[in-house]
Amino acid sequence: MKHVLFATSNRHKLQEAEIVFSEYGLNVEQWDVKRLEVQSESLEEIARISLAWLMREANPRCPFFVEDAGLFIEALNGFPGPYSSYVFSKIGNEGVLKLMDGVDNRRAVFVSVVAFTDGKEMLVFKGQASGFISHAVKGERGFGFDPIFIPEEGDGRSFAELDVREKNKLSHRARALRKLAEWLTSSKII
Ligand code: IMP
């Protein structure tokens, strides 16, 4: 079976990737390594720099990939976007709901960027999920902003009310990972 490493310490992201990859007969293995997290306005730049840093500093087994995601809230001009993990750790879902207090435009987009390398070249794949910020925290599953994000293409449940397979039908990360999986199955790299 074709085998790829996913440099992440997030077991939820790993589980989402395992399910997507299994649809393609691919195997993903966790590489729980400390990554360089630079601040940048661009998720793609963050992912590219993180991948390049691991290639240089961490003596990786290839092929491997990293993934960076962010929640872009329209009424907040795209905030927290690339600063999502910092914002989540400081103010959490309740803090974001407070920022959205009295705001009618609840539109938001989750964006995921996957940066992959076979040890020679770097490839980047993106996925998006459009939706809305809920008025209250809903659901127990998933991680991060899942309890306040209602995907537009869903049935009104938040990401945290979906099981992983349901979330994978709609999520930014599954969409980016499927592009990588499709590329891997059609290339001779692994
Ligand atoms: P990361 O830097 O890619 O791990 O993601 C930044 C932050 O965005 C994380 O700390 C999470 O709070 C949030 N995030 C990323 N992806 C998701 C998701 O699929 N669901 C909910 N929150 C997410």
Is-above-0.85 flag for pTM? yes
Domain edges within the chain: 2-187
167-178 residue pLDDT tens: 999 999 999 999
Can 68 be counted among the known catalytic residues? yes
Residue 65 confidence class, pLDDT cut points 50, 70, 90: very high
CA distances, 159 to each of 9, 131, 179 (Å): 20, 10, 21
Q: What are phi and psi of 102, to 5 degrees?
A: 75, 5
Q: Which residue reads 């009424």 in tokens?
A: 75
Question: Per the residue annotation, which of 32, 68, 104, 163 is the catalytic one?
Answer: 68
Which pLDDT belongs to residue 24? 94
Give the Cα-Cα-Cα angle 104, 107, 112 (nearest 5 degrees): 155
State in Å: Cα 145 to ligand 1 middle.
7
Mean pLDDT of 74-80: 98
Dist CA 80 CA 130 (whole Å) = 15
Q: How far is CA 12 from its chain centroid?
A: 10
**Is there an atom of ligand 1 within 6 Å of 148 CB?**
no
Query: Would you say residue 50 has pLDDT above 60?
Result: yes
Which pLDDT belongs to residue 112? 98
Which pLDDT belongs to residue 1? 54
Q: Fold for domain 2-187?
A: Maf protein (3.90.950)
**Is there an atom of ligand 1 within 6 Å of 145 CB?**
yes
11-28 residue pLDDT tens: 999 999 999 999 999 999
Quickly list H helices, the chain: 11-22, 43-57, 84-99, 164-170, 172-186
Looking at every residue in the chain, the average pLDDT score rounds to 95
Dist CA 113 CA 127 (whole Å) = 7
Q: For the chain, what percent of residues have pLDDT higher than 70?
A: 98
136-153 residue pLDDT tens: 999 999 999 999 999 999
| Contact call for residues 81 and 92 (beta carbons, < 8 A) | no
**Is there an atom of ligand 1 within 6 Å of 158 CB?**
no
